[in-house]
Structure 1
């Protein structure tokens, strides 16, 4: 699995989402940017979807997640914050409210969420509003 390619594709999606979120529906470029985003997402799934679904499935098994594995696109946060740059490109983080809500057997009372964060590529389990755990990361 080429995690660098996944990182780059994910960064492209995030940057396009940020660009789209900065526009209003009335902006004449909104539809074009939205179409570009959907193309990036389709390419992402075509090229990396199966590998990411396997990784997410392994995370679900390891942490006894009771919810179904969804499309990897679901685990991409709606909002990221740029925290820096490195040789691969922009580095991002997402707040604790981002990600797919999941039910973890050992954490029944906590509002846990899984989210994919790029550069370095990792999957974070947001345990609550202040705590998180890296449950998978590229090697």
Structure 2
């Protein structure tokens, strides 16, 4: 699995979403930026969708087997926080409110959400304001 290619594509989407979020609907660059974002997202699904769906299926099987796996795009946060930089590029994290709602038996009544974060590539389960779990990473993936 080429996680570096997935991460690079994901970082491009994050940067383009951030750029789009800075524009108002009236801005002349809005439509062009939105189209560019959709092209990046389409390429991401075409190039990496099957791989990410397999990973997400494993995560769902472990945590929330009754919840259907969505498109990998759904697990990309709307907003990321840049926490640093390394040789791969910007390092990111997310706030507790980002991700796709999933119902996890171990955390019934909690607003649990799954989210993909790049650099390093990982999937986090946001449990609540103070708690989260690393549920998959390129370092811990099943061989």
Q: Is the pair's TM-score, using the shorter chain for normalization, greater than 0.5?
A: yes
1:128 equivalent in alignment to 2:128: yes
Aligned CA distance change for structure 1 residues 94 and 69 (closer, same or farther; 3 Å)? same
Cα RMSD, aligned residues only? 0.8
In structure 1, stretches of 5+ residues that fail to align are none
**1:105, distance to aligned residue in structure 2 (A):** 1.4
Aligned partner of residue 52 in structure 1, secondary structure = helix
1:87 alignment partner in structure 2: 87
**Alignment length, in residue pairs?**
139
Question: What TM-score do you get using the length of structure 2 for normalisation?
Answer: 0.95
**1:66, distance to aligned residue in structure 2 (A):** 2.6
2:29 alignment partner in structure 1: 29
**1:76, distance to aligned residue in structure 2 (A):** 0.2
Question: What TM-score do you get using the length of structure 1 for normalisation?
Answer: 0.98
2:99 alignment partner in structure 1: 99
**Stretch of structure 1 that moved more, 94-103 or 56-65:** 56-65
Work out whether residues 11 and 118 of structure 1, in 8 Å CA contact, stay in contact via their aligned partners in 2: yes
Work out whether residues 66 and 102 of structure 1, in 8 Å CA contact, stay in contact via their aligned partners in 2: no
Match runs of 1:44-59 below 5 Å? 44-59=44-59
**Stretch of structure 1 that moved more, 60-69 or 122-131:** 60-69
Moved segments of 4+, more than 2 Å: none
1:14 alignment partner in structure 2: 14
**1:64, distance to aligned residue in structure 2 (A):** 3.2
In structure 2, stretches of 5+ residues that fail to align are none
Work out whether residues 64 and 102 of structure 2, in 8 Å CA contact, stay in contact via their aligned partners in 1: no
Structure number with greater CO (CA < 8 Å, separation at least 6) is 1
